Every structure is written in structure tokens, then in C-alpha cells.
Amino acid sequence: MTKILSKEKWRKRRRRKRYAVLTMCISLIMIFFAFTAVIGFELIRGRLNQNIPETETFSETLPGGTAIQLEYLTPNPYSRPQTSLKHVKSIVVHYTANPETSAKNNRNYFDNLAKTHLTYASSHFVIGLEGEIIQCLPLTEQSYASNDRNDDTISIECCHPDTTGKFNESTYDALVNLTAGLCMEFNLKKEDIIRHYDVSHKKCPLYFVEHEDEWEIFKEDVMKVVNSRNSTG
């Protein structure tokens, strides 16, 4: 037999249900805000402790007015695995070891590794024979360029006109300005500018390995740009 409730009892039952629903909603809101606060704190703490790069590329024009073309590689295991780059301790200079090729040629070679599977290779930047700069990877991701230093370096590949590996004036000037910009972006010093050779003893970049004096002059040129830019604000 169905029990019949009085109007007053129905009202009390409805009030209890509304109160229970309201209590549950308030609890869920409090849990949401607490969770959001914890996540936000961890993200901030992680960025402060790990020196995670804040930008994928530069927010302003490089020293010397050098422009950067953004042509990111297609995400793939062979050239852009999208592995996070949490620390930037050095800038590594490379040469392509392929005379007379362009920045676009080398960028496309990296991108095509997604199809050819020939090797694992890439670089954050490629500088061409006319001083053009192509950025292949965000500054928040690792490249396949510098062996066991991929996890804390930014890599720069440079084109060259002949087998000596010597950069022409346009490539050299762009390299100086790009390296200076990276030094300012990540608060790096002269000793943080290194060659692939300094990581693995591979003769790369060849001309700077065979001409130590020219390598020292290059680093001095970079720091002149950095100091000049810092002094002018």
C-alpha cells in the first residue's frame, strides 16, 4: 500500500533534496578551484625551477634587423619528436657539410625524414647562403643535432659555398646576429656558445674546428652585438 505524505512533509522532503543538491554543487566548485590552484602553482614552480623557454621564437626582430622565417617541421619521430626542451644552457653551431645547398633544401631534408626514415636529424635554425634564417623547430622542443646535448641546447645549422666549410659574409653576419639574439633571450654568456665539435669531437663546423682563431673571433663578434644591444636598452 502506497504511503500518502502530507503537504508539509512533501515540502520538507523537497527542501532536503534542494539542500543536498546545493551542498554537492558547492563542494564540486570548491574542489574545482582547489585543483586549479594546485595545477597553476605546479606550473609556475616548474617554470621557475626548470628554466622552461617561455616562447617558441623571438618576440622581436633580431639584432641587425635579421628576420626569421617560421617553417616548422611536420611532427614525426625522425626529425621533430616534440620532446620538451626544459633547459637552454648552450647554443651549438653546426655546418651542413653539403656545399652550395640552401637553407630551404636542408630544412626540407629534415622534413622528408618523416617519409624516408634515413636517420634522425634536425636543427632549430638553418642559415642560408644569402643570410636567410629558417626556424625549423620551436624553442620549446629538442632537436636531433648535438648528441647528448640535445636536451639543453639550441642548434644552428649553417650553409657554406665550398668544401672548406667557411661561411660567406651573409651567412656569417646572420649567424652572429642570431647567436646574439639567442644569448640575450636565454641570458647566455660567451662560454655558452659552442661547436658540435665541443660535444662529440666531430669536425663540425669544419672551418671553425680547423681555425680556432676564427672561432674565437666569431664569439667576440657575437658578444659585441650583445653588449651593444644591452647598452642601448
Query: Could you tell me the residue ranges of all domains in the chain?
Result: 1-50, 63-231
- Whole-model pTM? 0.76
Task: Read off the pLDDT band of 4 (50, 70, 90).
Answer: low
* Helices (H), ranges, 70-211: 103-116, 169-186, 196-200, 206-210
Neighbour order of strands in the sheet with 153-158: 68-70, 133-135, 125-127, 153-158, 90-95, 193-195
Instruction: Mention every residue, 6+ apart, whose C-beta is less than 8 A from residue 206.
Output: 95, 97, 164, 165
Domain over 63-231 is classified CATH 3.40.50.300: no
Name every residue whose Cβ is closer than 8 Å to that of residue 91 and which is 6 or more positions away in sequence.
153, 154, 155, 156, 179, 182, 183, 188, 192, 193, 194
Cell of 233: 636598452
User: Which residues touch 99 (CB under 8 Å, ≥6 apart)?
Assistant: 160, 161, 162, 163
Q: Is 115 helix (H, G, I), strand (E, B) or coil?
A: helix
In 59-102, alpha helices (H): none
Q: What is the pLDDT of residue 47?
A: 44
Tell me: pLDDT of 44 over 50: no
Mean pLDDT of 152-176: 98
Per-residue model confidence (pLDDT) at position 233: 59
pLDDT one-digit tens code per residue, 66-110: 789 999 999 999 999 999 998 999 999 999 999 999 999 999 999
CA 91/CA 156 separation, integer angstroms: 8
First-to-last CA distance in the chain? 87
